[in-house]
Structure 1
Amino acid sequence: MTVLTHWPLAGLRLTTPRLELRSPDPDDLAALASSAADGVHDPAVQPFTVAWTDAEPEQRARNVLQYHWRCWAEWRPEDWELNLVAVRDGTVVGTQGIGARDFAVRREVGTGSWLGRAHHGQGLGTEMRAAVLQLAFAGLGAQHAVSGAYADNAASLEVSRKLGYREDGIERHAVRGAPVELRRLRLTADRWRRYRSVPVQVAGLPECLPWFGLPGGGAAGGS
């Protein structure tokens, strides 16, 4: 008997031309926490709606560990958050999340991600997002995917544009004591099929389907 008997999500794998996305083991989480301690973005800006990166380096590392542990502990088929590490040539470069509430009814997912600063500007964010969109639309039968980015987060907005998202309104947030505008973005299944350009392979999904609130025994979508 292995951990997969009780936690099949540990066997889920998404593969792109340069990356493998997987549920992190303790060593992966340690590497991800260290990357967070080293820095995720320019300290002069704050791209996240929850300003967890404004903490000191050791606290940032601890935040990463506790966030992953909390998502595992609170997982329910009607309310889940899957956080995968992105690995390139054996190195953990960042994390890509996908989550949903009442997915079996709403068929809508949200995504979020970050890369260590040393790995910015290489197109890896696009591959990471493309991987979980493949999981959502081809593997789970999603109808919508939503995301969001502050108006000055050009990199995130460009990833969404490449993948076919459309504007879906704005929200006003307070960041570091100042008002900022967050742009909501939405991708439909039809537009995903039109814009998909990154080949993605999904392995280990059929055993996980009940954990996403879906009937088991289905087949994962390929490239």
Structure 2
Amino acid sequence: MLVDHFPLVGLRLTTPRLELRLPTPEELADLADVAAAGIHDPAVMPFLVPWTDRPPAEVARGVIQHHWLRLGGWTPQAWQLNLSVFRDGEVVGQQTIGASDFAVTRTVSTGSWLGRTHQGKRIGTEMRAAVLDLAFTGLGAEEAVSAAFDHNASSYAVSRRLGYIDDGTKRHAVRGELSVERRLRLTRADW
């Protein structure tokens, strides 16, 4: 069985309303459709790489290719797990957790997105809490880091609700304009 060779396919994180796991090929297509339908106001870019600026079919294909790329490049030294988020059996978004040299740093990073129709329902907080529990309880992480641009108030609010503290800023050029990234950090003790 595949799970015998790649145990991540058997990983399931559950919360009162959500299930986070790797998608089947058909569910990956559903996730791609959610992204193609829109995940943010097109006038504002919440991502460092403006991958959602492409036509819907290219956004969908990019979601699929990125998923396969991350799974195919998995190593204990550098990994990124893109979990599909399901609510009542429906794919609503993606929650990512990853690390570089985790055995030494004990630090994970997180990122996520939700389809626009699923936003504003505290799903983002619940799905982030699920991977933080995996990180701190399951993997023995010492800290988790995340970031959001100044204009992404909802992402920043999720981090603050979960206990992250500010950890500096970084300036980026996104779409040829200045975007200020607010870095955030959560320690095991604060979790």
For the criterion TM > 0.5, the same-fold answer is yes
Deviation for aligned residue 1:30: 0.5
Deviation per CA, 1:125-154: give whole Å up to 9, x if none: 000100000000000000010000001100
Residue 81 of structure 1, CA deviation: 0.4
1:153 is aligned to 152
| 1:77-88 mapped onto 2 (5 Å cutoff) | 77-88=76-87
Q: Which one-letter code corresponds to 1:15 in the other structure?
A: T
TM-score, normalised with respect to structure 1: 0.85
Matched, 1:116 2:115: yes
Flag structure 2 segments of 5+ consecutive residues without an equivalent. none
Distance in 2 separating the partners of 1:180 and 1:91:
33
| Rg (Cα) greater in structure | 1
> How far apart are 1:5 and its partner, in Å?
1.0
1:69, distance to aligned residue in structure 2 (A): 0.4
Give 1:200's aligned residue: none
Paired letter, 1:58: A
Q: Partners of 1:181 and 1:4 in 2: how far apart?
A: 41
The corresponding residue for 1:210 is none
Residue 58 of structure 1: how far off its partner (Å): 0.4
Structure with larger RCO (C-alpha < 8 A, sep 6+):
1
The Cα RMSD (Å) is 0.5
Task: Give the match's secondary structure for 2:190.
Answer: helix
Aligned to 1:27: 26
Distance 2:101 2:181 in 1: 24
SS in 2 for 1:47: coil
Q: Which residue of 2 aligns with 1:133?
A: 132
The answer on 1:69 being equivalent to 2:65 is no
CA distance in 2, matches of 1:136, 1:180: 29
Unaligned runs of 5+ in 1: 193-223
1:51 aligns with 2:50: yes
Q: TM-score scaled to structure 2, two decimals? A: 0.99
Please report how far the alpha carbon of residue 50 of structure 1 lies from its aligned counterpart in structure 2 after TM superposition: 1.1
SS in 2 for 1:190: coil
Aligned to 1:8: 7
- In structure 2, how many angstroms separate the alpha carbons of the residues matched to 1:190 and 1:151? 26
Runs of 4+ in 1 over 4 A off after TM superposition: none
Aligned partner of 1:40 in structure 2 is 39
**Aligned-partner residue type, residue 50 of structure 2:** A
The number of residue pairs the alignment matches comes to 191
Tell me whether 1:185 sits opposite 2:181 in the alignment: no
> Identity percentage over the alignment?
61
Q: SS state of the match for residue 191, structure 1?
A: coil
